[in-house]
Structure 1
Amino acid sequence: MTDDRTIPEHDVVPLLEPREGIPHVIQAPEDLAATIRAFASADGPVAVDAERASGYRYSGRAYLVQLRRTGAGTALIDPVACPDLTALDAALAEAEIVLHAASQDLPCLVELGFKPRKLFDTELAGRLLGYERVGLGTMVETILGLRLEKGHSAADWSTRPLPEDWLRYAALDVEVLIELRDVLSTQLEESGKREWAEQEFHSVLNAPAPPPRADPWRRTSGIHKVRSLRGLAVVRELWQLRDRIARDNDLAPGRVLADSAIVTAALESPRTTRTLTEISGFTGRSARRHLRDWLAAINKARMLREVQLPQPTTPGDGPPPANRWADRDPVAAKRLAAARAVVAALADEHRMPTENLLQPDAVRRLTWEPPEEISDESIAARLRDLGARDWQVDLTAHPLAKALTRLENKGEI
């Protein structure tokens, strides 16, 4: 990363207090209405952030929403007390909303009825500009010369009342977000990447919700240790039971039962509650409440007929893992290597991560099943089908077509 865009360490100043002090948390309808009027009458972009309780609660809902706009100051809204933000959404319909890592916060904001129409994502802008570290605290420090304290990012924001130091942290998260946006916007203009950023922001705003995962229990950490189909059945039954308990009690699944306990139970297949409690993870308060249920789930897996057992893997709709290509399809492996080299060189030229120039999944799918006739036009059409934006297609279609054609001409594919 270039040093000329960053503030030297010795010039960094701690940002300790919000300029107007810590705002009171808005919980009453009349206070929310007054805040909406204030923000609607102010001008310029609106900085927005949301705090969730990941790691504590099952849902991804917001437990605090922070806003800041020049002329209106900072507002902290309790979405538990004020769960309907459609009036705020309507009042700010024409405003540019500034978020950091917008894809993380947009789902919980949309749940509240707040859906931006125009977005500036400071993290995504930083990636396009080639900043190596794009966390909010790091960017504020290196670009603005201000140090944010980040000690409460993993806190349980469902706590009520929220401690004052948490509220201070929350207010500071939007304190200089607009200033950061302004600097990044200028840099995007100067580097010729503003239009690229606009296309990326539009894509984030209009991205469809991801489809439900098939067999989500297969993502249990450590499941690779389970070699038998019967053991996989134990993982599945325990995972599904844990998920039901977690959902019913709005608890993060890991707070009900750790993945490591599920995997150990699958390996040891305990037959009594005593042997079950000998496994670390089943002795915690949440887990002990359901000892009989856990044991019943294990016994259910033990009694399944062979045809009811899960298979080791489930086929996906895309290409296999890239490390298997050389064995399964050596020609495709050569295409992938050539395409990756092209994307890496272009990303380096334009000073951005390769995954922001072109999604790795798009590169894999393109090279696993390329068009029958390789040309700039056919590669461009395939990339668009795979979700690439126009600016990405403009930069990559011709070099990719050229590289794949070269392989064909050499007789390597």
Structure 2
Amino acid sequence: MTDYDVLTDAGALRDAAQALAEGTGPVAVDVERASGYRYSQRAYLVQMYRRDAGVFLFDPPAIGDFAPLQDVLADQEWVLHAASQDLPSLRELELVPRTIFDTELAARLLGHEHVGLGAVVEEILGITLAKAHSASDWSTRPLPQSWLEYAALDVLHLIDVRDALDAELVQQQKIGFAQEEFAAELTRLPKPAREDPWRRLSGLHTLHGRRAFAVARELWQAREEFAQQQDVSPGRLVPDRALVAAVRADPRSKGELAGVHEFTGRASRSQLDRWWAAIERGRAAADLPLERLGGGGLPPVRAWRDRNAAADERIKAARPVVEAHAQALQMPAENLLTPELLRRVAWQPPEPATAEAIGDALADLGARRWQIAETAQLIADAFVASVQVAEDAPADAS
């Protein structure tokens, strides 16, 4: 087993940056967080590998300023696996690549059956990666040597995988598809925050009454604020099921709340005043939330027949055509065209619904050029066919 050191100071970072600058080819990058343990999604370890330079492991909380690394690597291609997971944490460190190669996304576009890092490395290189520490608490210090070896292996083979996938993309004439997807991944904006994030509370559907929902909202918010202060995952403080149990129990005092058997977690008793205050706020709230919200998006497709019969015919005609084309291209249908985009253009197509107009509508919704080129004409033809089906339906029924 190779022993790896974690770099923790500015001097070591500068030396590593110089070594990486003198390396050759793309830079493999990975990030380890402490999801499920910490509130934040900050990076607790950053791994980099470059040919002729080697593997480097960096401790972000200890180092702080990564500017020397950004200065020498920004113009190089960064290779990541499932880049959308790591880019936000890297941006927090002001480590921002200008170009990337995402090995997971490339594997999807190529139609690989399994696209996890371990599966891709094993399929392409015949090397088995242990995943024993993928869900570990990477805020732990010092990090065990076995964890460091695991982290190093996540980048050590990534360049070889990248080269193999790149050749496969060229062979399948999908390199243009991939380049557009990689560029889109780099510029994709984060999803806007939910208006009522407390509604994500697991088990909320078991509660009844707007007052109970108000109490659940206040408990969720109190837990969220405390979790952020402590930088601890909210569910480790008090699990969702415990909050919901407290609401259902409807305790008349702090003592009764403390006696709720299901009200568990590391902070359920030590922060009893906090939770009781939240319950009282919920009981006194004037702005009682609705139990059920009307959907802001499209209705489920199963309801289209009654609510928009023409759209129902369009989606039934277009979806199998898009799926068949994805199969011909040997990629998942959702990578060829996001199902939500197809639903939206089927629900309210442009007039007239030509391939060009549908392409413009898809572009406005965020589809890439290659996706439009592969699907717009198919969708337009399917919509025309759906009109014929609708016109023939009465004659068939008689």
TM norm. shorter chain > 0.5 = yes
Deviation, 1:351, is 1.0
Tell me the equivalent position of 1:208.
189
Deviation, 1:316, is 5.2
2:173 aligned residue (176, 192, 206): 192
Encode CA deviations 1:13-39: one digit per residue, 9 max, x unaligned: xxxx4xxx3331101211110000010
Tell me the equivalent position of 2:371.
392
Deviation, 1:315, is 4.5
CA contact (8 A) 2:48 2:57 kept: yes
The separation in 2 between residues aligned to 1:227 and 1:130, in whole angstroms, is: 46
The separation in 1 between residues aligned to 2:308 and 2:292, in whole angstroms, is: 20
Tell me the equivalent position of 1:268.
249
- After the TM superposition, which residues 13-52 of structure 1 pair with which residues of structure 2 at under 5 Å, given as runs? 17=1, 21-52=2-33
The separation in 1 between residues aligned to 2:247 and 2:348, in whole angstroms, is: 38
Tell me the equivalent position of 1:335.
314
Deviation, 1:255, is 0.9
Structure 1 gap ranges (5+): 1-16
- After the TM superposition, which residues 53-202 of structure 1 pair with which residues of structure 2 at under 5 Å, given as runs? 53-202=34-183
Change (3 A) 1:250 1:133: same
Specify the code of the residue in structure 2 equivalent to 1:194.
I
The separation in 2 between residues aligned to 1:388 and 1:355, in whole angstroms, is: 11
Change (3 A) 1:410 1:326: closer
Deviation, 1:192, is 0.5
Deviation, 1:317, is 4.5
1:367 aligned residue (342, 346, 355): 346
The separation in 1 between residues aligned to 2:96 and 2:280, in whole angstroms, is: 47
Matched positions, count: 392
Asked if residue 321 in structure 1 is aligned to residue 300 in structure 2, the reply is yes
SS at the partner of 1:68? strand
Tell me the equivalent position of 1:348.
327
CA contact (8 A) 2:236 2:266 kept: no
Specify the code of the residue in structure 2 equivalent to 1:208.
L
CA contact (8 A) 2:245 2:262 kept: no
CA contact (8 A) 1:234 1:297 kept: yes
Tell me the equivalent position of 2:396.
none
Specify the code of the residue in structure 2 equivalent to 1:361.
E
Tell me the equivalent position of 1:409.
388
Deviation, 1:297, is 1.5
Deviation, 1:227, is 3.3
Asked if residue 381 in structure 1 is aligned to residue 364 in structure 2, the reply is no
Specify the code of the residue in structure 1 equivalent to 2:364.
D
Change (3 A) 1:136 1:190: same
SS at the partner of 2:35? coil
Deviation, 1:281, is 4.8
SS at the partner of 1:53? coil
TM-score (norm 1): 0.91
CA contact (8 A) 2:245 2:263 kept: no
The separation in 2 between residues aligned to 1:119 and 1:97, in whole angstroms, is: 5
Deviation, 1:298, is 1.8
Structure 2 gap ranges (5+): 394-398
Change (3 A) 1:250 1:388: same
SS at the partner of 1:55? coil
Change (3 A) 1:55 1:356: same
Deviation, 1:406, is 1.4
CA contact (8 A) 2:317 2:385 kept: no
Encode CA deviations 1:113-148: one digit per residue, 9 max, x unaligned: 101111000000000000121110111112210000
Specify the code of the residue in structure 2 equivalent to 1:202.
A
Encode CA deviations 1:69-123: one digit per residue, 9 max, x unaligned: 0010000000011122122112012211000000000000011010111100000
Specify the code of the residue in structure 2 equivalent to 1:297.
A
Specify the code of the residue in structure 2 equivalent to 1:164.
Q
Tell me the equivalent position of 1:358.
337
**56-65 vs 233-242, greater mean Cα deviation:** 233-242
- After the TM superposition, which residues 256-295 of structure 1 pair with which residues of structure 2 at under 5 Å, given as runs? 256-295=237-276
